[in-house]
Chain A
C-alpha cells in the first residue's frame, strides 16, 4: 500500500474546519459593504478555499511535479483567456 499516502484523520478535520471558517468569513465580509473590495475579497477567499481542497482533499500536495505542472498550465491558459477577453470587452 506504499502507493497511497496515509494522512492522519486530524489533518482532514482541520482542513474542513478551515473551509467552514472561511465560508463564514466570506459571508461576513460580503455584509460589510466595502464596495469594489468585496468582489476582490470574495474571489481571494474562494481561491484560498479552492487551494485547500486541491492540495489536501485532492492530495495535490503529495503528488509528483507533473500534476502541479498540469494544473499550472491549465491555470495560465485560463489567465490568458480571461485577460484577452477583458482587454476586448473593456476597450470596445
Chain B
C-alpha cells in the first residue's frame, strides 16, 4: 500500500477575469437581441400603420406592471449580492428568493398576456391573422418572437438563480478528488500535524473524494460572491433587454 500525500491545492481565483468572461458572453447576447430589434425597426419603417395599430392592441398597463416587476427583481438581486459581500448569508438567501419570486410573477403575467392574444386568434400562422395585413402579421410575429426569446432568457436566468439559492442555503463546503490506485488508507491530520482520524477503504477504488464542510464561511465567501455576481449580471441583462422591449412593443404608436 502506497501512501498518497494530499497535494497542496492551489486556489486559482480571479474575480475580475471571471466577471469579464461573463461580460463578453453578455455582449454576444446584446448583439443577438440587437439583430431582432433591427428587424423590428426595418419592418416598422415599412409598415408604420400596421405597427401603430398592433401596438395599440397590447395592454400598456400589463407591460408597465411587468416592467416594474423586473426592475424590482433587479433591485433585490443587487441587494442579495450586497448582503453576501457583507457576509450576511441569510440576508442574501432572502433577497435571492425574492428575486426568483418576482421573476416567476413576471412569467405568470406573461402567460396571461399571451393567453389573451392567442384567445383572440392572434398568434403567428393563425387563421385569424391570415385575413389581416402583412404588416400586422409581421408585428405579431415579432411580438411573440421577441417576448418569447426574452421569456426564455428569464427562464434560464431563474434556473441559474435557483442553483445559486441552493448553493447559498446549504453549508459552505469544498470537495477535493484524489486519485488512489487500489486500496486506500485514509488519515486526517490537522494543520499543525496532530492526527485527527484514521480509517481504511477496503473496496478496490480508483480514487477518493474528500468533502470539507466549513463552520465559518469566510474561506468560501469570495468565490461565492463572484458566482452570485455573474448570475446577477445575467439577470440584469435580461432586465436591460426588457427595458428596450417595453417601449418598442407597447408604447411607440
Residues of A that sit less than 8 Å from B by CB: 1, 3-7, 9, 12-13, 15-16, 19-20, 23, 26-27, 30, 38-39, 42-43, 45-46, 49-50, 53-54, 56-59, 63-64, 66-67, 70-71, 74, 77-78, 81-82, 85-86, 89-90
Contact = CB atoms under 8 A, between A and B. Distances in A.
B85 interface: yes
Shortest 5 CB-CB contacts between residues of A and residues of B: A42-B247, A30-B251, A16-B75, A74-B27, A3-B15
A12 B71 CA distance: 11
Main secondary structure of the interface of B (DSSP, over half): helix
A3 B227 CA distance: 13
Contacts of A49: 243
Interface of B: 15-16, 19-20, 23-24, 27, 30-31, 34-35, 38, 41-42, 45-46, 60, 64, 67-68, 71-72, 74-75, 77-79, 82, 85-87, 221-222, 225-226, 229, 232-233, 236-237, 239-240, 243-244, 246-248, 251-253
B229 A4 contact: yes
A20 B64 CA distance: 10
28 contacts: A1-B225, A3-B15, A6-B82, A9-B82, A12-B75, A26-B247, A26-B251, A30-B253, A38-B251, A39-B252, A42-B251, A46-B248, A49-B243, A50-B240, A53-B74, A57-B232, A58-B233, A58-B237, A63-B19, A70-B20, A81-B35, A81-B38, A82-B34, A82-B38, A85-B38, A86-B42, A89-B42, A89-B45
B40 to A, nearest CB: 12
A30 B243 CA distance: 15
Contacts of A70: 20, 23-24, 27
Given A27-B64, A38-B252, A4 B225 contact: yes
A20 B20 contact: no
Contacts of A23: 64, 67-68, 71, 246
Contacts of A39: 252
A78 B243 contact: no
B231 to A, nearest CB: 12
Nearest to A45: B247
Nearest to A85: B38
A4 B224 CA distance: 11
B251 A27 contact: yes
A74 B28 CA distance: 8
A30 B247 contact: yes
B222 A1 contact: yes
A53 B247 CA distance: 16
Contacts of A56: 78
A30 B249 CA distance: 12
B82 A20 contact: no
